[in-house]
Copies of this chain bind each other. A is one copy, B any other.
Amino acid sequence: MDDFPELSLDDIEALAVGAWVLGTGGGGSPYLGLLNMRRLYAEGHRVRLMPPGALADDDMVAVVSNMGAPLVGQERLSDSRNMARAVTLMEDHLGRGFRAIMSVEIGGNNGVQPLLAAAHLGKPVVDADAMGRAYPEAQMTSFAVGDLQPWPLTLVDPRGIEGIVAKVPSWKWMERLSRKMCVEVGSIAATCKAPRTGAEVKRWGIPHTTTQAIRLGRAIRTAQREHRDPIAAILETEDGKLLFRGKVTDITRRTTEGFLRGRAVLEGLDGWRGSGFELAFQNEFAVGWMDGEPVVMTPDLICVLDSVSGEAIGTETLRYGQRVTVVALRAPPVFLTPRGLDFVGPRAFGYDLDFRSVFA
C-alpha cells in the first residue's frame, strides 16, 4: 500500500464545500458524491492523496469526470461503482493498468468523483486537475492547451451501457462525439477521459487543487462554526475579490444539447443598492455585467455564494429571492496565455469580449 496521506472524512467534507465554490456554479453539487464517500468510509474504504510530484514519468493516470447537465445530476443519483467501471473499461481498452486517478475538474461534484473510483479500486487520487475549477466542455482543459492527445474516452451509464471514443482528429470532435453519447443516455454519464502519463500530469496538470479545495472548504466551515463571515474567510484564504452583493430577481434556465444554459439577474443590497448585476452561464458562470458593463469573465472564477453561509450556489439551484454574494477567484496561469484564452476565454463561450481579469 502507498504511504501517501490518507484523507479523513473531515477532509472530504471540506473538499465537498470547497469544490462547490471552485465549481463557479457548475460541475454539479458535490453533496451527492459526499454521501457516497460517507457510505464508502463507513464500509471501511479509505482514499490516499498522492502529490503529482510522486508520479513516475511513465505512470498512467486515469482522468475521470461525471459528464453532463448538472440539473440532471440532481435527479439521477450517481452510483460510485459506475465511475470505477469507467476506469476499468479504460484499462481493458488500453490493455494497461492505472497508477492513480485524478479529476479532470476539481470544481463541483467532479472534485469528489475520483475518490469514488479510488475507494473501489484501491488506487490513490492525484492532488491535481486540468481546470482548477469547472468548465462545460471537454476541450476546456490545461491538457488541451498543452495539445495533448484528446483520445480515447470511455463512457458508462447505470443501464450497463459502455461506449468508447477510440480516436478523434481534434478535441472539438471528442467533445462532439462524447456529448452526443452522453445526451443519448440521459445527459449524465461517468467518463474516463484520455489517460495521461505521469510526465504529462506533472507538466500540464494544475497542481494541488484538491488541497486547495480542502483548504477553501475548511475556511468556510471554520468561519461558520466560529460565527465569523465565511465570505471574508474565502477572500482572505484565496486572495479573492468581492464583486457584488444582492438578491436574485430573475432567473432563466434551459437544459439544451447536454448543457444547462441561462441568465440570472441580481438587484443590489448593502453598498450595491441601486445597482444591478447580470450573470450568464453555460453550466458554469461565464460572464458578469454590472449595470450593463461586463466586469468579470471566464477564465476568472465567478463564484456566487449564499451571503450568510458562504457556501456556493449552483446554476441549477439559484432561485428567486436568494441573498447572494458574487466573488472572483484567480484563474490558473495556464489559461491566461493567448492560447489558454482561445480555449476558455469569453469568445470560447460566444461572447465577443476581450478578456480582462479583475485581478489585472
| A contact residues vs B (CB 8 Å cutoff) | 89, 93, 95, 151, 154, 159-169, 173, 176-177, 180-181, 183-185
Contact = CB atoms under 8 A, between A and B. Distances in A.
A168 B164 CA distance: 12
Contacts of A185: 177
A278 to B, nearest CB: 33
B164 A163 contact: yes
Contact of A161 (B173, B183, B184): B173
23 contacts: A93-B166, A95-B95, A159-B169, A160-B167, A160-B168, A161-B169, A161-B173, A161-B177, A162-B167, A162-B168, A163-B163, A163-B164, A163-B165, A163-B166, A163-B177, A164-B164, A164-B166, A176-B184, A177-B181, A177-B185, A180-B181, A180-B183, A181-B181
How many copies of this chain are found per oligomer? 2
A150 B6 CA distance: 43
A261 B225 CA distance: 64
A183 B183 CA distance: 13
Contacts of A154: 166
Nearest to A170: B159
Nearest to A165: B163
Contacts of A151: 162
Nearest to A89: B166
A173 B154 CA distance: 17
A93 to B, nearest CB: 8
A152 to B, nearest CB: 8
B177 A167 contact: no
A180 B176 CA distance: 11
A93 B89 CA distance: 11
A93 B167 CA distance: 13
Contacts of A159: 169, 173
A162 B166 contact: yes
Contacts of A166: 89, 93, 154, 162-164
Q: Which 4 A/B pairs are nearest by Cβ-Cβ distance?
A: A162-B167, A164-B164, A162-B166, A180-B180
Given A154-B166, A176-B184, 11 more contacts: A160-B169, A161-B165, A161-B173, A161-B177, A162-B165, A162-B167, A162-B168, A163-B177, A180-B180, A180-B184, A181-B181
A292 to B, nearest CB: 38
Nearest to A168: B161
Contacts of A164: 93, 163-166
A147 B164 CA distance: 24
Nearest to A184: B180
A85 to B, nearest CB: 10
Contacts of A89: 166
Contacts of A161: 165, 167-169, 173, 177
A168 B181 CA distance: 12
A177 B89 CA distance: 17
A89 B173 CA distance: 18
